[in-house]
């Protein structure tokens, strides 16, 4: 009964999303307040029914109702409750429902926080979001109904994929989806602006916080996903250029460009058509990512059920949503030229340069991801594109991005003197190069990659310090507190996020240059050495969990005579699917991780043990945290709230005047 | 409308063309390394007569299928009626590989269970399942510990291997056999193999 209620609620949500997609748009066109006002309750009602539907599905999982096909295939009565709940989105149907739910959540957030927007504009935004929502809910209902019954019911379920039975997987998909789907708001704002022909600084200002928050979610989601891959897949890698990872990375790159482009449009009125295109592009790549993951066009380690019918449906959705918006863009963009002019040497140029580079980077990831498909389609054979391609493309593209990223903030808007600007940053730049060579030499690893990475990282850090110092000097004479207060949250956001990039580069460079790895055969009492550490194998014990059998290795981590940690990697076999899994064990430190995973047991009782030494790896995620924090600061800037209040007041006056 | 603003749209349509074509391809067709190789040798106890064992030699000279199943496998239940129907129509002899009957079942803790006890339990469960759902198999063999499954590269149940007269694996079907897969892929392949001999 409850699954049927959920199914019915989802159908109601679809009906409401259609209402939301049509009525407010008609209202905006006819200038009818009554019709426009339908958007808000429709969006909120839709949210209610989707959440209700989602709760019903979760209930089937919690209750181990194996007459529901999805629960039977992805849950098990012995699965811990936490993974019963997260199992709901560990599969195709459930993750679509999560997608629809987060879209609906964003829409409701727009209805709540954008009361000050002009009615016609808000109506159009809600209409666009309603269309996307209708597309996805109908996709779910028609091709991937999560409430499908399995009759007669089975006695026991197949359990959730053991890889996904992990705390990281509890938060990774919701964060990622919030980010992906969040770009729909920037997209809807852009489309609404194109429809109304009103693409001005106000539009950019309204879009900015939404875009930034979506970007923060996406950053966090990607970081958590990569952290999960690092400790769960058992071989210490943190990024694999897997198609599914790329699907989230492409919108991130374009979203980063969009954030910066919006800044220019807001401040200087420039780049308007470019900003609109980026807004369409970021969301299109989110949709494309969904297509790639869901259609089975590209194989990936992320095993989701694939079905060509679904692929066709998403492709049709893609054609309608992206095709229509690009057509609208083609029709309206010629009106968007103009805006503040700027000289070649100016902050605008630096931002434009980086936007172009980020877009090219995004395109190159797209190319690498789809290249096997292109070749296959042209009958040129089956190949796969691996990390060497992406690394070869990425390093040369990102190097100028990082240089420009720190140079831009030293430049003035509109026009600046190149010689003076270069003179300002030259000492930091030269020092960075010296630090790059010096530190590579100090760690005894002078390769061009290490030198380049460390130079860039030093450049980011030194330039950040110089920027902050410069900002501090602006108000010489004022107290330290007053000087700090005079810096806006938005500026701190920019500063932190850029610094985060530097920290990230340190992590990537160090782990890429200096990590060490050793596979050894160990018997009880034997020891191995790696990177100055001693690993003593104290045998393996049984450590069965609720839904798996496991052997747990006991390994002492020593430095000289001192015991640092006892590591307990596990080899698990999940009973329902008979699937073996390795659970790595880590000794996490600021400057290095020691990472141990347990391999197979040999006939003579010895175990294969993999030992890894990963210098500075946590800096990768520390960098991501700083970037995300920067986004939070930027979105929390007071001026958005002040402006919102002022615009609301102005709107109130207009109403009063017309009355 | 200026032509340059149409560029994104045109690029997008080019991309859509490729994606649409991509849907007609099957990336999972990346073949199992065992395709066209001799099937791994094994000798396992028969389910109907556990004292006797079965090996590949017995099927020499005919085209046949090896179907991996277990009573705990949900998807096997889905494909089973089709197998029963195939048996009635005598389409192709199918040998069942009963895979990890006891230790594969999450509801049972098989650790520490003696092999004899596990085997007895597996026979009991598997026979009951075939009685309940019908037995489409020429015979079934018991892969208690899943070692033969490993040799065949089984990574999920059910899976089905099509093996030719010379004992070579010619095709592998992953997941439950659907009526479409049977009609469009398996039967044509079986007929092709029979003609080739």
Does A376 have pLDDT greater than 90?
no
Cis-peptide into A152, omega within 30 deg: yes
Confidence class for position A341, pLDDT limits 50, 70, 90 = confident
DSSP letter, residue B39: P
Residue A69: what pLDDT?
Answer: 87
The mean pLDDT of A615-639, rounded to a whole number, is 93
The verdict on a CB contact (< 8 Å) between B103 and A575 is yes
What is the average per-residue pLDDT within A333-341?
73
CA distances in angstroms from B191 to A619, B56, B66, B138, listed in the order given: 60, 21, 17, 19
Contact status, residue A601 vs residue A540, Cβ threshold 8 Å: yes
Q: What is the pTM of this model?
A: 0.80
Q: Which residue has the higher pLDDT, A38 or A90?
A: A38
Contact map slice: A 617-636 vs B, CB within 8 A: none
- Residue A153 has a pLDDT of 81
Which residues in chain B (62-81) have CB-CB distances under 8 A to chain A?
72-75, 77
Convert the pLDDT of each residue in A575-585 to its tens digit: 777 677 888 99
Q: Closest-CA residue in chain A for B108?
A: A575
Is any Cβ of chain A less than 8 angstroms from the Cβ of B114?
A: no
Q: How confident is the model at residue A643 (pLDDT cuts 50, 70, 90)?
A: low
**Euclidean distance between CA atoms A434 and A424, whole angstroms:** 18
Candidates B1, B6, B8: best to mutate against A (most CBs of A within 10 A) is B8
B105–chain A Cβ distance below 8 A for any pair: yes
Alpha-carbon span A202 to A646, nearest angstrom: 13
Contact B115, B64 (CB under 8 A): no
Q: Do residue A334 and residue B1 have CB atoms under 8 angstroms apart?
A: yes
Q: Where are the alpha helices (DSSP H) in A474-606?
A: 480-486, 489-514
pLDDT at B29 over 70: no
Closest residue of B to A542, CA-based? B111
- Residue in B closest to A74 by C-alpha: B74
The angle formed by the CA atoms of residues A222, A225 and A231, to the nearest 5 degrees, is 140
Question: Is A375 or A494 the better-scoring residue by pLDDT?
Answer: A494
Q: pLDDT by residue (tens digit) across A414-468?
A: 888 889 999 999 999 999 999 999 999 998 888 999 999 999 999 999 999 999 9
> Binning pLDDT at 50, 70 and 90, where does residue A629 land?
very high
Q: What is the dihedral of CA A310, A314, A317, A321, to 10 degrees?
A: 170
* Residues B50-74, mean pLDDT to the nearest whole number: 89
- Name which of B23, B25, B156 is nearest A315 (Cβ-Cβ): B23
Instruction: Summarize pLDDT for A233-244 with one digit per residue, the tens.
Output: 777 788 888 888
Instruction: Give the pLDDT confidence of B87-101 residue by residue, as tens digits.
Output: 998 889 999 999 988
Asked whether residue A644 carries a pLDDT value surpassing 50, the answer given is yes
Residues within 8 A of B (CB atoms), A 137-156 only: 150, 154-156
- Enumerate domains of chain B plus CATH numbers: 38-196 (3.40.30.10)
Per-residue model confidence as pLDDT tens digits over A470-499: 888 877 777 878 887 888 899 999 999 999
Distance CA B127, CA B135 (A): 9
Four-CA torsion A108, A109, A112, A115, nearest 10 degrees? -110
Closest CA to A215 of A173, A252, A266, A254: A252
Tokens of A573: 């076999």
Determine how β-strand A516-522 pairs with β-strand A607-615: antiparallel
Torsion angle defined by CA atoms of residues A205, A207, A212 and A214, in that order, rounded to the nearest 10 degrees: 170
A245-299 per-position pLDDT tens digit? 888 999 999 999 999 999 999 888 888 888 999 999 999 999 888 777 766 565 5
Q: Which of A181-185, A194-198, A288-292, B97-101 has the lowest mean pLDDT?
A: A288-292
Q: What per-residue confidence (pLDDT) applies to A308?
A: 63
pLDDT of A300 over the 50 cut = no
Residue in B8, B16, B105 nearest the CB of A329: B8
**CB B48: neighbour CB atoms within 10 A?**
14
**Residues of A numbered 254-313 whose beta carbons fall under 8 angstroms of chain B's beta carbons: which are they?**
273, 277, 280-281, 284, 291, 295-299, 306, 308, 311-312
């Amino acid at each position: 009964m409850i699954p049927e209620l959920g199914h019915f609620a989802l159908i109601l949500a679809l009906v409401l999303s259609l209402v939301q997609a049509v009525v407010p748009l008609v209202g905006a066109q006819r200038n009818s307040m009554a019709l426009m006002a339908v958007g808000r309750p429709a969006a909120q009602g839709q949210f209610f029914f989707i959440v209700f539907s989602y709760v019903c599905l979760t209930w089937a999982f919690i209750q181990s109702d194996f007459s529901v096909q999805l629960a039977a295939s992805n849950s098990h009565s012995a699965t811990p409750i936490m993974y019963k709940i997260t199992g709901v989105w560990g599969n195709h149907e459930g993750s679509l429902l999560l997608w629809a739910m987060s879209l609906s959540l964003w829409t409701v957030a727009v209805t709540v926080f954008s009361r000050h927007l002009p009615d016609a504009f808000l109506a159009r935004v809600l209409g666009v979001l309603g269309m996307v929502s209708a597309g996805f809910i109908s996709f779910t209902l028609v091709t991937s109904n999560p409430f499908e019954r399995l009759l007669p019911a089975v006695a026991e379920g197949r359990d959730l994929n053991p890889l996904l039975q992990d705390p990281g997987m509890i938060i990774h998909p919701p964060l990622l989806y919030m980010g992906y789907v969040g770009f729909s708001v920037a997209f809807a704002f852009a489309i609404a602006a194109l429809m109304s022909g009103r693409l001005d600084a106000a539009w950019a200002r309204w879009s900015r916080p939404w875009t930034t928050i979506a970007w923060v979610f996406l950053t966090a989601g990607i970081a958590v996903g990569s952290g999960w891959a690092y400790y769960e897949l058992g071989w210490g890698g943190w990024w694999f250029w897997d198609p599914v990872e790329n699907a989230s990375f492409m919108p991130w790159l374009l979203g980063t460009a969009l954030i910066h482009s919006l800044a220019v449009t807001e401040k200087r009125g420039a780049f308007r058509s470019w900003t609109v295109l980026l807004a369409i592009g970021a969301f299109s790549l989110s949709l494309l990512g969904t297509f790639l993951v869901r259609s089975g066009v590209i194989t990936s380690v992320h095993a989701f059920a694939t079905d060509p019918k679904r692929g066709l449906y998403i492709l049709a959705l893609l054609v309608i949503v992206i095709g229509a918006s690009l057509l609208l863009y083609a029709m309206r963009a010629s009106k968007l030229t103009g805006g503040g002019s700027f000289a070649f040497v100016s902050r605008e140029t630096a931002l434009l340069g980086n936007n172009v580079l980020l877009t090219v980077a995004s395109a190159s990831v797209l190319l690498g991801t789809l290249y096997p498909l292109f070749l296959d389609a042209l009958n040129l054979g089956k190949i796969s594109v691996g990390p060497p391609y992406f690394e070869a493309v990425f390093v040369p593209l990102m190097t100028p991005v990082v240089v420009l990223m720190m140079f831009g903030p030293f430049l003035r808007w509109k026009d600046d003197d190149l010689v003076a600007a270069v003179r300002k940053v030259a000492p930091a730049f030269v020092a960075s190069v010296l630090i790059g060579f010096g530190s590579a030499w100090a760690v005894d690893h002078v390769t061009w990659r290490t030198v380049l990475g460390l130079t860039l990282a030093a450049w980011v850090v030194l330039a950040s310090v110089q920027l902050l110092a410069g900002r501090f000097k602006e108000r010489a004479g004022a107290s330290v507190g007053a000087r700090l207060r005079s810096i806006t949250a938005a500026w701190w956001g920019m500063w932190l996020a850029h610094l985060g990039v530097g920290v990230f580069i340190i992590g990537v460079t160090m782990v890429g240059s200096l990590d060490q790895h050793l596979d050894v055969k160990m018997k009880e009492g034997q020891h191995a050495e790696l990177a100055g550490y001693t690993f003593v194998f104290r045998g393996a014990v049984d450590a069965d969990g609720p839904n798996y059998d496991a052997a747990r290795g006991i390994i002492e981590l020593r430095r000289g005579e001192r015991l640092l940690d006892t590591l307990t990697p596990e080899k698990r076999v999940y009973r329902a699917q008979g699937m073996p899994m390795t659970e790595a064990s880590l000794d996490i430190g600021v400057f290095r991780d020691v990472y141990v995973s347990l391999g197979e047991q040999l006939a003579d009782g010895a175990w294969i043990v993999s030992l890894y030494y990963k210098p500075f790896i946590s800096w990768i995620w520390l960098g991501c945290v700083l970037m995300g924090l920067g986004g939070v600061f930027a979105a929390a800037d007071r001026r958005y709230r002040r402006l919102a209040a002022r615009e609301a007041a102005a709107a109130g006056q207009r109403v009063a005047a017309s009355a | 409308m200026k032509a340059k603003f149409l560029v994104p749209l045109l690029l997008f349509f080019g991309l859509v063309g490729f994606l649409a074509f991509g849907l007609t391809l099957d990336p999972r067709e990346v073949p199992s390394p065992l395709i066209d190789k001799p099937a791994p040798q094994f000798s396992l106890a028969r389910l109907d007569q556990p004292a006797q064992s079965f090996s590949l030699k017995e099927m020499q000279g005919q085209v046949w299928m090896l179907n991996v199943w277990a009573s705990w496998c949900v998807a096997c239940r889905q494909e089973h009626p089709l197998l029963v129907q195939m048996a009635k129509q005598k389409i192709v002899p199918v040998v069942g590989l009963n895979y990890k009957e006891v230790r594969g079942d999450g509801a049972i803790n098989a650790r520490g269970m003696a092999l004899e006890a596990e085997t007895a339990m597996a026979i009991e469960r598997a026979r009951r399942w075939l009685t309940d759902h019908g037995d489409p198999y020429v015979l079934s063999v018991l892969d208690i510990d899943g070692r033969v499954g490993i040799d065949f590269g089984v990574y999920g149940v059910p899976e089905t291997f099509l093996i030719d007269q010379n004992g070579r694996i010619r095709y592998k079907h992953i997941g439950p056999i659907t009526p479409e897969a049977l009609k469009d892929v398996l039967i044509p392949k079986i007929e092709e193999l029979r003609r080739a001999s």
